[in-house]
């Protein structure tokens, strides 16, 4: 997709952080934007800001972990804009500094509900709208560099598990849609200066309600030293234009992915040696 002006987009998790950075970049490119988020105050502020950029914008209070809520957001965006050209499944929550055996049952439900089901619901609700008008369109899923390797120092494998899933969904969609006019990308950033270390501020009641999780405060300085969300937004717009499946941002994280691949290749070497030693 190359032309953005006058087209429309929906972004989940658009009230703050990366989602707001992407929404700003879309508005700067002349797109109308539907902002979907669970945090009402932040959403109202983001809505006012995007409208000031001179495009049409709507704010949709949405819980991506609830299928019906995402379908309502999709219907509202279609009612407002007619056609939908870009959808970004971006809403997500962190689960860092939590050993796997210690994650509470309802936190597993919340993590998988937002990070994985949120994207699945978005695919099911938004994709039919992206395809039905027959014009060029694009779907972006926000994973993480944690979707391609598990950080050995962060006790974040529960989070990484959901992001591996988002990468797999995106690769699968890319295969399924490659003969169509709908492009697919998966965004895989490392540290971005956002409030993700305070994700539990938005934990819905059915998963235990809002809370402050001090165990994740260690991320604050690390993220503050990372990319700004607006830089991510600019990167995403350019990557949609050039049709990139994997949107990498922090190029130094190549080393992390390479290290994992080396471990995989070593394991294949051992498989080959075993096959030779045990040939029939």
Ligand X SMILES: NC(=O)c1ccc[n+]([C@@H]2O[C@H](COP(=O)([O-])OP(=O)(O)OC[C@H]3O[C@@H](n4cnc5c(N)ncnc54)[C@H](O)[C@@H]3O)[C@@H](O)[C@H]2O)c1
Interface with ligand X by CB under 6 A: which residues?
Answer: 12-13, 15-19, 37-39, 42, 62-65, 90-93, 114, 142, 144, 189, 191-192, 194-196, 199, 202, 223, 226
Q: Find the shortest distance in angstroms from Cβ 202 to ligand X.
A: 4
Q: How far apart are CA 23 and CA 17, in angstroms?
A: 10
Let me know: does 67 contact 122? Beta carbons within 8 Å: no
Q: Active-site residue among 5, 51, 132, 163?
A: 163
- 159 is known as an active-site residue: yes
SS3 61: strand
Dihedral angle computed from the Cα positions of residues 183, 15, 22 and 47, in that order, rounded to the nearest 10 degrees? 100
Is residue 132 annotated as a catalytic residue, yes or no?
Answer: no
- Given the residues 159, 164, 178, 220, select the one marked as catalytic: 159
The per-residue DSSP string of 191-226 comes to: -BSSSGGGGGGG--GGGT-----GGGTTHHHHHHTS
Quick one: 91 or 127, whose CB is closer to ligand X? 91
Cβ 253 to ligand X shortest distance, Å: 10
Q: Would you say 211 and 203 are in contact if contact means Cβ atoms under 8 Å apart?
A: yes
Burial of 54 (0-12, 13-18, 19+ CB in 10 A): exposed
As measured in angstroms, the least distance from the Cβ of 159 to ligand X is 7
- Contact predicate 81/50, CB 8 Å: no
> Are 20 and 48 a contacting pair, CB within 8 Å?
no
Alpha helix segments (H runs only) across the chain: 17-28, 40-52, 67-81, 105-112, 118-132, 157-177, 219-224, 229-242, 254-277
Please list the active-site residues.
159, 163
């Amino acid at each position: 997709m190359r032309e953005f002006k006058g087209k429309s987009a929906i972004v989940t998790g658009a009230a703050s952080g990366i989602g707001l950075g992407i929404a700003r970049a879309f508005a700067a490119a002349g797109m109308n934007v539907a902002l979907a988020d669970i945090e009402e105050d932040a959403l109202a502020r983001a809505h006012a800001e995007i409208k000031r950029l001179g495009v049409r914008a709507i704010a949709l209070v949405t819980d991506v972990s609830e299928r019906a809520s995402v379908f309502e957001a999709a219907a509202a965006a279609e009612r407002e804009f007619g056609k939908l050209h870009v959808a970004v499944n971006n809403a997500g929550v962190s689960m860092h500094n939590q050993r796997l055996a210690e994650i509470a049952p309802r936190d597993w439900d919340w993590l998988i509900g937002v990070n994985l089901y949120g994207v699945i619901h978005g695919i099911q609700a938004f994709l039919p709208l992206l395809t039905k008008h027959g014009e060029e369109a694009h779907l972006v899923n926000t994973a993480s560099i944690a979707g391609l390797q598990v950080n050995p120092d962060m006790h974040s494998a529960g989070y990484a598990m959901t992001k591996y899933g988002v990468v797999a969904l995106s690769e699968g969609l890319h295969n399924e849609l490659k003969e169509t006019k709908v492009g697919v990308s998966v965004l895989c950033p490392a540290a971005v200066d956002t409030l993700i270390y305070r994700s539990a501020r938005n934990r819905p009641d059915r998963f235990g309600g809002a809370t402050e999780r001090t165990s994740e405060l260690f991320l604050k300085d690390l993220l503050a030293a990372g990319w700004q969300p607006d830089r991510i937004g600019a990167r995403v717009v350019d990557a949609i234009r050039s049709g990139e499946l994997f949107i990498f941002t922090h190029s130094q994280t190549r080393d992390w992915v390479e290290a994992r691949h080396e471990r995989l290749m070593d394991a294949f070497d051992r498989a080959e040696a075993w096959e030779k030693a045990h040939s029939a």
